[in-house]
Structure 1
Amino acid sequence: MNTTSLEGALASWRGGFLGEAVCYSVQQMEIARSRIRSLQYHPARLFSFLDSQDYYAVKKRYLDWMASRRLQMGGFDFFHGWSGECFETLVEARLLGVPSVMDVPTWHRNKGAVKSTETLKERRARVADRGWRDWRKKLTVTRQQNLAEYDLADVLLMPSVKSAETFLTAGVDEKKLHYVGRGVDVERYRPGGPPEKFRVGFVGALIKRKGVHVLLEAWKKAGLKNAELVLVGNLHEEMKPYLEKFGTDDVRLAGVTNRVQDELRACVAFAFPSECEGFAKATLEAAACGLPLIATRESGDAVVDGETGLVIQPNDVEGLAAALVHAASHRDEMAEMGRMARKMVEERFTWDHYRARLLQGYAKAKRQVRVV
């Protein structure tokens, strides 16, 4: 389980009503092992020879199949699944009249655009992929299956306001949406002493979707003195040309680390110019460390313009460069925003807050369950 799904399971466990958690593996000590069905050694591992994307798709389909069979056996009164890996289980839940919620980790599959159920491009691809010749293409969950999941679940759990907006744009009834946000460990992520050097951090996969190429170009354009940009995360191949073009001596690649909090505490501000996120956990971790955010609204709900940081537009090099210059020349102002960011996290985005919102979503689903 990832952190968010584990916290969801803990909410059920501590509430005294967790029937069974079906997952690939789990590293925790609180939930009784008798309540966890681990698929760590599963038949899908026979497909491990596939590339990572296809193998992951096989695992998700196997997880869905197993969960649907468990639900079919009876003894369960509620289902909580994740988008992209619970279509069959949601069908079974609807047939049985079992209330269901589905976690949506990011935006609506249409990504804020208005699309028909099947586009011309998708129709041509479906016809071209008939038969066994392109069997791997059939492994990945299609957009149509995602849309069916949205319809089948009684309540959709929204990670952020921006995510909810993409569902409203797609025509999903607002009554079906329930905001859960995200959480962060405020004990692990705590403010440190402000460094003398103006150091800006980024945490996450070093990819274009997260705007790292924009950050590199903006950093070079800003031309800040006695400053450093620290990139924490796995460097993807697509980013190497941008590093060669815009990388400078004051850009440090920190790689992947288990001590993210240490890197954050050594920073003055946190930059996250992503163009599409559900709710980037790194923004909450940075806020919990008392860092002001220079981020897009698309990154999640941690950045509030003029309060917890500066809101920038995605793919806006000039705007990001201007924000970096402003942050470097107004450190007292930014430090106050960092204090407000920490306060906001303590008041709204701890894991206790997340679990409470989740249980409210469960109650909402039970009130509006639909039966076939």
Structure 2
Amino acid sequence: MKEQLFERLDNAYEDMVIIRRHLHMHPELSFQEVKTAQYIRDFYINLGVEVRENVGGNGVVARIKGGRPGKTIALRADFDALPIQDEKDVSYKSTVAGVAHACGHDGHTATLLQLAKAIHDIHEDLAGEYVFIHQHAEEYAPGGAKSMIEDGCLEGVDAIFGTHLWSLTPYGAIEYLTGPVMAAADRFVLTIQGSGGHGAAPHQTKDAIVIGSQLVMNLQQLVSRRVNPIESAVLSVGSFVAENAFNIIADSAKLGGTVRTFNPEIRDLMELEMKRIVEGTALSNDCTIEFDYIRGYPPVVNHAAETEFIKTIIEQLPDAEAVEAEPQMGGEDFAYYLEKVPGTFFFTGAKPVDPYPHHHPKFDFNERAMLLAAKALGAAAIDYQNN
């Protein structure tokens, strides 16, 4: 059956590219993906496949039953874009100002749609049921996975598989890893209320910029001095806003950033120690600092059996190499699926001729990787019936 599936996928590659480029030209931001969701829904309706729309928001879920009883396997692809101006010089450049598919979600969607079509073509000869989860809003917490799960997208599912096209990994390499593979992704906002004044009379003020600078420097010590070196953690301040005229001392300032961890205990520690530093800085400067810590996605933790299984699948694919990955500090709400059912999340190498990292204005990927990703997901779904 896999040979039949692969033959259909090979024949569908050009259609896969057409879909990907159409979506690339018409991106939509997280929680705003109305037309993209309609496009996905219409694709399944035209196939004659059972499909649910508005799942947990803009999510779409299609189900294809095989001709024989068996396990229920879910495959997931995300479809939201980013608030980034597309700077590529290509024919399929984004037509929406300030919005671009700069992470490959257009490719994920095209991959899953054509895989669903191929499975539908041979479904009478397959066992089990296949659930195609098209998820909205992966890029922005609280994300779409949690609400889709609450709306029943995993109902009856025995296992789930997902992949991410990876622009900095060579084509042909497919990376897998048991255990934590992506980090918990939290964010924070610090609002400093000092006392502004004339730049010539700093002694009459409580300078929010100086206070904010102290916070930035003090927070950098958390990872190096409070976290066990054996553990992993990242704290990055990405925004510091205190705009004033050149001769005015800032009355207030706002800082924003992110914290990344794998270990739940380290996650708790980072939040606790940040609060301690904020309170101490406010006390020493006689000001007020509002501290908001927003927990984002939990870490992506791959299940051992399913990860070993996907490794064997990759090893059997033509033109593919199974490579053990290193954990990444990026976040992914695929984590929520893995908290509910067994599964694994892997990375399909998609390095183009001129590679740029994900979320870069010139991001692109090798489109041949979509075909490889489809074969890996399809083979996993079919072979897992006997796992």
TM-score, normalising length: structure 2: 0.29
Bigger helix fraction:
1
TM-score, normalising length: structure 1: 0.30
Structure index of larger Rg: 2
